[in-house]
Amino acid sequence: MDKKENADLQSAIMQKIDLSRQMSEEEVREIIDEQIKQESKKHCLEVTAREQLRRDIFYSIRQLGILQELIENPEITEIMVNGTDGIFIERKGKLEKLDICFDSVEKLRHVIWQITAGCNRVVNEASPIVDARLADGARVNVVLDPVAINGPILTIRRFPPEPITVRQLLSMETLTRECQNWLEGLVQAGCNILVSGGTGSGKTTFLNVLSQFIPDTERVITIEDSAELQIRGIPNLVSLETRNANVEGCKEITIRDLIKASLRMRPDRIIVGEVRGREAVDMLQSVNVGHSAMTTVHANSVRDVVSRLETMVLMGMEMPLTAIRKQIVSGFDLMIHLGRLKDGSRRVLEIAEPTEVIGEEVKMQTIYKFEITGKKPDGSIRGELKSTGEFKGGEKIKRAGW
């Protein structure tokens, strides 16, 4: 069957679907099977071709079209759709271009509409950029034309159905057993931890792993732009998500609003998925008034985190830099920096403790640092996370009985 015949077949199926109610998947499949059976009388279709056609039409009508099989593939961690020009994926840390692409902008827009409508987000010419998520927790970013010159751009970051465990991080050599035991003690003691790194370095995954060390007796509140954290084993868990303003008059709810609200919800621990703007003011204030918190920040190194936080705080309010630096030192007990190496592996590159402000600089005490020692036979990077210093802020650990 050519593209026109395929489109006609799909159109005939759509006419038989009752749009006035939510039809089950089985009902839709029955309609597809019946129509394909009739089409088989006109065209000689092999069994494999018939099954492929059946699957493609169902995905197009009820799911995400040609992207569905990619989303269901556990090896694929990122899907990048560049309009109708092509589809790229990340598999095992490497980018590759696929032979498939969307036939038309309309089909791509239909998939984008399904995603955004499913999580109560609106994307159009008035709001051409939106962050959303799929039902399985995958993170979605959409940029529409004319902002995106080469057509609608869709980027999907997938996460494993089950959160990665500390055991898996150990097997991937992301960190060592010694470091893991030490971090577990710090989290259980209620230390304030900031995880930094570039895009795709594994910050959210690492934050999930750290959350596995939180005592199950705590009340934990998570705050995110788009829900991605997979926190398990905490019965007293509250998950908050931001909301965009819309044409119906719904007010925008920001990270700042949610942090302020969380402080009135009797939290034992606040976890903010990512600090990227004015909310840094509220984040810094919360860790300086006795709340235990963990969060992530985009940065090139643990030392760059300070300047990033300074900039973000100044976006939210006028404040002397010296005061900001003192609050960073007194508020955060530990900063963990992650990176993605050239072989695609994600590693803990440095763990440091902000110790004091001297002049115009926040002094950092490096406790663990990753050192490259060579290459393995398969070409992957060989390295070791070495202990280089002693954690000085042990008072909180002692109070917690560790």
Residue 160 is predicted with a pLDDT of 76
Q: What are the structural domain ranges in the chain?
A: 1-62, 73-158, 166-399
CATH class, domain 166-399, is: alpha beta
Q: Tens of pLDDT along 260-316?
A: 999 999 999 999 999 999 999 999 999 998 899 999 999 999 999 999 999 999 998
pTM > 0.85:
no
Residue 23 is predicted with a pLDDT of 56
Q: Tens of pLDDT along 4-38?
A: 666 677 667 666 665 445 556 677 778 778 877 77
Please provide residue 382's backbone torsions phi and psi, each rounded to the nearest 5 degrees.
-100, 130
**Using CA atoms, how far apart are residues 256 and 195, in angstroms rounded to an integer?**
19
How is residue 53 written in tokens? Answer: 């056609």
Residue 337 is predicted with a pLDDT of 97
* 25-40 and 3-16 helices, crossing angle to 10°: 130
Residue 4 is predicted with a pLDDT of 64
Residue 22 is predicted with a pLDDT of 52
* Residues in the chain, pLDDT under 50: 19-20
Residue 366 is predicted with a pLDDT of 95
Residue 19 is predicted with a pLDDT of 44
Contact 194, 284 (CB under 8 A): no
Q: What 3-state DSSP class applies to 376?
A: coil
**Using CA atoms, how far apart are residues 236 and 220, in angstroms rounded to an integer?**
6
**Which phi-psi region, left, alpha or beta, contains residue 3 (left: φ > 0; alpha: ψ -120 to 50)?**
alpha
| 73-158 against 166-399: fold identical | no
Residue 3 is predicted with a pLDDT of 62
Enumerate residues 6+ apart whose C-beta is below 8 A from 295.
Answer: 194, 195, 207, 271, 272, 273, 274, 275, 283
Residue 63 is predicted with a pLDDT of 59
Task: Please provide the CATH number assigned to the domain covering 73-158.
Answer: 3.30.450.370
Residue 251 is predicted with a pLDDT of 82
* 203-211 and 177-188 helices, crossing angle to 10°: 60
Residue 14 is predicted with a pLDDT of 62
